[in-house]
Amino acid sequence: PFVFLQNLDLGLNLVGGITLGVVGLFLICGLYSQQPNEATAILLFGDYRGTDRKPGLRWVLPWYSRKKISLRARNITSDTLKVNDKRGNPVEIAANVVWRVKNTAQALFDVDDYQAFVNIQVDTGLRDIASHYAYDHGEHVEGVDQELTLRADAEDVAARLGLELTKRVSVAGVEIDEARLAHLAYAPE
């Protein structure tokens, strides 16, 4: 009987060790860490369940998948574009845009690649803005209000560019913090 009890005790220790190992593995698989200004979209078999924004060591059930996304401010300096201004003059123009992800679900699921989407919208918005303003003042006519120009009214142009970009990128869950012209010159012909 004593040998039987020793074998039974060894068997219980083995079963207990395996059970403890499985439970430990289950708990470890659900752990993830999150930095400040970072969010994690939580998905259950492809179905969006919410966004976790709290930094630190976090845990969810292991069958929930997680997609991390940065909420930090990002900076884009667009390529120098050759466009025509309001009067048809060819100008070179570039912008510097500061943006960040506001809605993680929209950024991950409403567009294929939100970073590429923002880059394209910056170029498109810049082309559109340039076509609404003349590069510089033409001849001054008495009694007629001066029109806004790209060169003389940079603050107003930047404000309109920011509003235009905000409308364009809102579908991707992105917000524009600031938009400024970074380069402006007549295009060499």
Is 97 in contact with 79 (CB distance < 8 Å)?
Answer: no
Span 58-91, pLDDT tens digits:
999 999 999 999 999 999 999 999 999 988 889 9
pTM of the model: 0.80
Span 94-140, pLDDT tens digits:
999 999 999 999 999 999 999 999 999 999 999 999 999 998 876 55
Closest by CA to 163, choosing from 128, 139, 117, 114, is 128
- Give CA–CA dist 153/157, Å, rounded: 6
For tokens 């969006």, name the residue. 48
